[in-house]
Structure 1
Amino acid sequence: MNDNQDNPFEDSALTTILVVSDIDKSKAFYVDVLGANIFREYGGDSLVLEFLENWLLLVTPGGPTEDKQDTHFVIPPNKDRVSHSYTIRVKDCNKSYEILKDRGAEFITPPVIRGAETRCFFRDPDGHLFEISEYRG
């Protein structure tokens, strides 16, 4: 897309919506453990966060609306079946692991070396999967 007139996303930003069961519990995790910044809170059931130059919108479960008539927002039904996850490229996986673990993140395993990559995974309170990954190229 070289011609800005043909770019439907000029001056836009991407926001990821995560459905969470408890806004306060998730707020504590994303702010206190991951270090996200609160941009806006509204309605007691929604929270906009800035995290690593990206936007996260945390919302509680909800049903259809007039603009998404057959769509339900639900928390992940099974934390072990993933259709969406986050990978955060870090400088030092072991150091990041220790810091996040000390802040309360619960990891699936300690960092594992896989070739030129060291990585490990953790979940938010509702089971959304996060990976921290160090690549040594």
Structure 2
Amino acid sequence: MFNTITHSQMYVLDQDEALDFYVGKLGLEVAADVDMGVMRWLTVRVPGRPDREILLEKPGAPAMSEETAQQVRELVTKGAMGGWFILTTDDCRKTYETLLARGVEFTEEPTERPYGIDCGLRDPFGNRIRFTQLKAG
């Protein structure tokens, strides 16, 4: 019936700050940055992977009223609306060291798991991000 998921969404309070974090620090690339009048359609993706994009959405019109948007912004500020996603990497510890040097703040250092090695961080808005080095096989 369905073939794939093409887009996911994360709430951010400032799209320029989000762009600096997701592209400047994490190394993702801009897939789309379009002024649609009532909103800015800003998506990022893993370089060379056009099959999946993350919409960095500022709460507001046209998806919600200003009153609702204010409530969502307050929840984002408290870390209560944090979305999450998981990236994969070939070398979790090396990626961790690279991102640490770029000023990324981690919530968990690389840790051995049954499925591989992974660690956790948060973006400037409280969204949770993990990246994993999967075990071979």
Hey, which bits of structure 1, 4+ residues long, moved more than 4 A? none
Measure the CA separation in 2 of the matches of 1:44 and 1:107. 34
**Relative to structure 1, is the Cα distance of residues 124 and 33 closer, same or farther in structure 2, using a 3 angstrom cutoff?**
same
Q: Choose 48-57 or 91-100, whichever is displaced more.
A: 48-57
Measure the CA separation in 2 of the matches of 1:14 and 1:127. 23
Per-residue deviation at 1:94? 0.2
What secondary structure is seen at the aligned counterpart in 1 of 2:106? coil
- Counterpart in 2 of 1:4? none
- Counterpart in 1 of 2:101? 102
Residue 26 (str. 1) matches residue 18 (str. 2): yes
- Counterpart in 2 of 1:50? 44
- Could you say which structure has the higher helix fraction? 2
Identity among equivalent positions (%) equals 27
Q: Extract unaligned runs of 5+ from structure 2.
A: none
Structure having the higher Rg = 1
What secondary structure is seen at the aligned counterpart in 2 of 1:127? coil
Per-residue deviation at 1:45? 5.3
What secondary structure is seen at the aligned counterpart in 1 of 2:118? strand
Measure the CA separation in 2 of the matches of 1:78 and 1:47. 24
1:60 to 58, 61, 66: 58
Measure the CA separation in 1 of the matches of 2:59 and 2:99. 27
Structure 1 length as normaliser, TM-score? Answer: 0.72
Structure 2 length as normaliser, TM-score? Answer: 0.72
- C-alpha distance after superposition, 1:66-115 (max 9, x if no partner): xx78xx45253643x67742111211110010111112211012211224
Aligned positions, number: 125
Measure the CA separation in 2 of the matches of 1:41 and 1:63. 15
CA contact (8 A) 1:23 1:47 kept: no
